[in-house]
Amino acid sequence: MTDVQTTTETSDDLTASYDAVIVGAGFAGMYMLHKLRWLGFTARVYDAAGGVGGTWYWNRYPGARCDVQSLDYSFSFDSELEQEWEWTEKFSTQPEILRYANHVADRYDLWQDMQFNTRIEAAHFDEGAGRWIVRTDQGDVVSAQHVVMAVGTLSTPKLPETPGIETYQGETYQTQKWPHEGVDFTGRRVAVIGTGSSAIQSIPLIAEQAAHLTVFQRTPNFSMPAGNRLLDADEVAERRADYPAYRQMARESFFGIPIPGEPKMAFEVSDDERDATYQAGWEAGNLVALIGAYGDILFDKAANDTAAEFIRSKIRDIVDDPEVAEDLCPTDYPVGTKRPCLDTNYYATFNRPNVRLVNLRKTPITQLTPQGIDTSEESFEFDAIVYATGFDAMTGSLVAVNVRGVGGVELKEAWSDGPMTYLGLAVSGFPNFYTVTGPQSPSVLSNMMVSIEQHVDWIADCMVYMRDNGYSTIECTPEDQLAWVEHSSELGDQTLYPLANSWYMGANVPGKPRVFLPYIGGVGPYREKCDQVAANGYEGFKLA
């Protein structure tokens, strides 16, 4: 790739000029474009995908659906959109969410300012001009005053680091890059590697179709029944009538999903009461019902153990073979400290005669072979292997772009010991550069729709403030950035999250610094902080 700065790109090379370049056409990029255009800015969205929807464009594996309820996992910025769109299920399927994304693009006529099948390769800050020069893999070189990275937090998939992976001759699939035409596993011997959220959603459906399914598990996950069902007209009408108040509660809540009442602490109640609460949480089909049931579950190991043991007892009840049940029980990290999962028949799938669990803690994979997978004990042959092996979360897609700020410093270098941001929104040394749901913001610990809207609104307000006050650049100070990073990390250290080798900690990617990536101060308090920064004339930023 040509280096934009050293080739001294001149205005002659530029194919276009915008107020903002937005990288990514998922929900974040779409709303950012709509908002900026509405405020009178020019903007262009680029996405490597062939259409809108981001996550919901790519992840088309069987069973892919949201696990925050559809009536929460949707835009709130336009009450007409909120009132007109019909969600059919409690947890919408990927095709339905993708239809929604396309509807949003149609409704606000976003298409004309979006360019697909186009990857942003580089973005370099031209200090003289105070503007970014952005290069795509299609040969576009454009100039923009602002760059908004709406690249997604779970958008760079990773493969396992297994010897021989390239030698396997059968079909391979990645959950994140699922073929658009679907896959028919009928009569086939299938392997799934991984047992995270995507695996937990897809395994029951693949098992129904395949002749035989072998699941290779390194770390078992805590999962709860989704209780998915069709939405009934009355509950939709009720929510629609109450949407403004409900959305406000979501914005002020801890996870971006309202939980009624103030939670007690786990040992303030009797064992029976706690069990009843957990049972209700188990039946609620709500991602945060159990981990939010008591105020100390994410902070106190003993409190957490009560919730974890409750879920383990459910796994032992559901799974017939006691040895398989034990293998499926997570025991070496607290519940909630890896992304919790909701499922439909996940644990029961292991009672099927055509399904086998291989515990890689006991018998690790040694290599992939042309025919299949070798573990330390056995050789398996497969017609197809599905990689459900997760993402380089939160930072992967940001550092994949060659972003260079003041002095030509590369973002990847600046973050070599872990991401450094102010509010998870801005990076010192990178003026007019914004990260939607970036590291050190609530992001993946929240209902992402709430967090996306909050960041997009904040960025748009900031651009308006600059325009109104005649500023051309904004950059956070290194001191305020450091204070925020330290604050975020101190909060993380008060929780149980650091006890897990999770992608929240960057622990799933070899060589990635082990730091707690999201901000655990809560969606509501975090929003207050961001609003306060803006109200104080963008405290912590230098405006020029």
Ligand X SMILES: Cc1cc2nc3c(=O)[nH]c(=O)nc-3n(C[C@H](O)[C@H](O)[C@H](O)COP(=O)(O)OP(=O)(O)OC[C@H]3O[C@@H](n4cnc5c(N)ncnc54)[C@H](O)[C@@H]3O)c2cc1C
Whole-angstrom distance, CA of residue 522 vs CA of residue 520? 5
Cβ(374)–Cβ(231) below 8 Å: no
Per DSSP, the three-state class of 304 is: helix
| Nearer to ligand X among residue 224 and residue 324 (C-beta) | 224
> In the bound complex, what is the minimum distance in angstroms from residue 503's beta carbon to ligand X?
11
CB of 359 or CB of 508, closer to ligand X: 508
Q: How far is the CB of 420 from ligand X (least distance, A)?
A: 20
d(CA 39, CA 436): 18
Q: Does 447 bind ligand X (CB under 6 A)?
A: yes
Selected from 4, 19, 20, 55, the binder of ligand X by CB under 6 A is 55
- Per CB under 6 A, the list member of 9, 54, 373, 419 interacting with ligand X is 54
Tell me how far, at minimum, the Cβ of 264 lies from ligand X, in Å.
26
By CB under 6 A, residue 47 contacts ligand X? yes
The residue from 4, 23, 142, 496 that contacts ligand X (CB under 6 A) is 23
Among 4, 20, 28, 250, binds ligand X (CB under 6 A): 28
Give 264: exposed, middle or buried? Use CB within 10 Å, 0-12, 13-18, 19+. middle
Whole-number Å distance between alpha carbons of 375 and 239: 51
Size of interface with ligand X, in residues (CB under 6 A)? 36
Listed ranges 11-19, 55-63, 180-188, 321-329: which one lies at the site for ligand X (CB under 6 A): 55-63
Looking only at residues 64 through 123 of this chain, which bind ligand X when binding is defined by CB under 6 A?
64, 66-68, 73, 119-120
CB environment 41-69: b (16+ within 10 A), e (fewer): bebbbbbbbebbbbbbbbbbbbbbbbbbb
Span interacting with ligand X, options 41-49, 215-223, 246-254, 349-357, rule CB under 6 A: 41-49
Q: Based on CB atoms, which residue is closest to ligand X, 92 or 217?
A: 92
- Name which of 73 and 471 has its Cβ closer to ligand X: 73
Residue with the two structure tokens 């769109």: 85
The DSSP code for 509 is: S
By the rule CB under 6 A, 518 interacts with ligand X: no
* Least Cβ distance, residue 26 to ligand X (angstroms): 2
CB of 282 to ligand X, least distance (A): 19
Long-range contacts of 412-419 (CB under 8 A, 24+ apart): 416/513, 417/513, 418/506, 418/513, 418/515, 419/394, 419/395, 419/515, 419/517
Among 145, 155, 202, 432, binds ligand X (CB under 6 A): 155
Sign, CA torsion 94/99/100/102: positive
- Give 92 or 337: the residue with its C-beta nearer to ligand X: 92
Q: Does residue 26 contact residue 55 with C-beta atoms inside 8 Å? A: yes
- Work out which of 19, 21, 24, 223 binds ligand X, going by CB under 6 A: 24
Residue 164 Ramachandran class (φ > 0 left, ψ -120 to 50 alpha, else beta): left
Give me Rg for the CA atoms of the chain: 23
The residue range among 11-19, 152-160, 474-482, 517-525 that interacts with ligand X, by the rule CB under 6 A, is: 152-160
Min CB(541)–ligand X separation in Å: 23
* H-run or E-run covering 201: helix 197-209
CB of 255 to ligand X, least distance (A): 9
Told to check if 401 binds ligand X by CB under 6 A, we report yes
- Residue 108 vs 267, nearer CB to ligand X: 108
Residue from 144, 151, 341, 476 touching ligand X (CB under 6 A): that is 151
Site residues for ligand X, window 125-144 (CB under 6 A)? none
Is 462 a binding residue for ligand X by CB under 6 A? The answer is no
Shortest distance, CB of residue 388 to ligand X, whole angstroms? 10
Tokens for 520? 């655990």
**Nearest CA among 60, 1, 2, 54 for reference residue 28:** 54
Q: Which 3 state secondary structure label does DSSP give 245?
A: helix
199 is a contact residue toward ligand X (CB under 6 A): no
Amino acid, res. 112: Q
Question: In this structure, what DSSP letter does residue 113 have?
Answer: G
* Cβ proximity to ligand X, 73 vs 422, nearer residue: 73
- Centre a 10 Å sphere on the Cβ of residue 414 and count the other Cβ atoms it contains: 18
Given the rule CB under 6 A, which residues bind ligand X?
23-29, 46-49, 54-55, 57, 59, 64, 66-68, 73, 119-120, 150-155, 198, 397, 401, 436-437, 447-448, 452
